[in-house]
Amino acid sequence: MFFVNLVNGFKKNGYQPIVVLLSEHNPILNRLDPEVPYHILKRRFRYDLSVSGKIRSIIQSENIKKVFCVELFSFFLSKRLFLFNQEVRFFLSVHNSIPITKKAYTLDLIYLRFFQKNDRVIFVCNFQKDCYKERYYFRPRNSYVIYNGINVSHYSRTMTTKELNNGEMSWKSRMGLSELDKTILIIGRLAQEKGHLYAIKALQHLHTNLGLHAHLVIVGGGTADFENMLTEAANKSGVQNYIHFVGSQKEVRPYLYYADVFSLTSFSETFSIAALEALSMGVPCSLTKVGGAPEMIVNENIGTLCESRNEASMADSWNLLLRKEPDREYISRYAVESFSFDKMLKNYLEVIN
């Protein structure tokens, strides 16, 4: 979504972008501006280096002078045949910080060696910039920090209120919950690094040690094996009646609208767009202290930070937020002023120019 929205934004601002996709699996390609031409380059295997030649042919035939790459792999494949061509400028947008495996770290280290003085890199938070400096010894001459942005008009309580039809979209009522039941909402794909297992343990701690019987609502899907593992962990937790898996949802705003707290329990994260969407909807956030979370949660009126892989810290964070009345208008206004897509796009256009 970041990539598609950015391309559409370039188009609306007078640019003529041409998109190159390195995968045939593009579930949101239909959201790309229909006037933007795109090429899908099929690869025989992941490291099919012949794709670099196809990318070069597109760049040369279209007389392109600026190439914007999202993530290091696409940068590597695009840049490797332009190492001695200073006429084409490359812009690298990175969205990961700490690699999950040693293999990923080694590959990233190799990809970054293709970065040259004339190129520019855009980080999504200061933590990420420092991380690349310390872990990869990556100190580019031209670097920028631009926070992720979202469509704050879409993620708006006012707009969502108008679209809710007399509470018919209330998932609380469908689950048999009352409007007074406290709920903690997690939105994101089901994966190990997202920390769902710690969230289940944190809910146990919240019930048993802090005496607050809140519900945990988990939106998102994953592999069948991981989903089964989470379900089994929930069933053995003793608080299984307070844990609700609702799967992937095309529209998450109703869940945000009725949630009391949004939680991010990841132990690997850079700058969560899901958290920004929650803030824009006026939902206080409990985020693990990873990535750029401290740059997002700047005071306790917006949310709290907790330690990753620490269920007691997570439960304390939830307890603090659930026991006080949030100023939803203040939270929403903060998100609108700090993390709007229009502000992000303006910053990207300045770098591109």
- pLDDT 10s digits, 274-314: 999 999 999 999 999 999 999 999 999 999 999 999 999 99
pLDDT tens digit sequence for 86-128: 899 999 999 988 777 899 999 999 999 999 999 999 999 999 9
Mean local confidence (pLDDT), 186-192: 95
- Look up the CATH number of domain 157-338: 3.40.50.2000
pLDDT score of 27:
83
**Rounded Cα–Cα distance for residues 336 and 142 (Å):** 28
Contact 288, 264 (CB under 8 A): yes
CA angle centred on 168, ends 165 and 169, rounded to 5°:
95
Say if 2-150+340-352 and 157-338 have the same CATH topology: yes
The whole-chain average pLDDT of the chain stands at 94
Q: Does residue 62 register a pLDDT over 80?
A: yes
Boundaries of every domain in the chain: 2-150+340-352, 157-338
40-49, 254-263, 308-317, range with the lowest pLDDT: 40-49
- 8-28: burial string, b at 16+ Cβ within 10 Å, e else: bbbeeeeeebebbbbeeeeee
Cβ(336)–Cβ(330) below 8 Å: no
Residue 166 has pLDDT above 80, yes or no: no
Residue 88 CA to residue 84 CA, distance in Å, equals 10
Q: How many CA atoms lie within 13 A of 26 on its CB side?
A: 17
| pLDDT at site 167 | 54
Tell me the two tokens of residue 203: 């809910």
Q: How many CB atoms lie within 10 A of CB 267?
A: 17
pLDDT tens digits for range 306-339: 999 999 999 999 999 999 999 999 999 999 999 9
pLDDT score of 168? 54
**261 touches 321 (CB < 8 A):** yes
Q: How far is CA 110 from CA 69, 103, 114, 291, in A?
A: 16, 11, 8, 23
Class level of CATH domain 2-150+340-352: alpha beta
Strand partners, 222: 190
Strand order in the sheet with 143-145: 66-70, 89-93, 120-123, 143-145
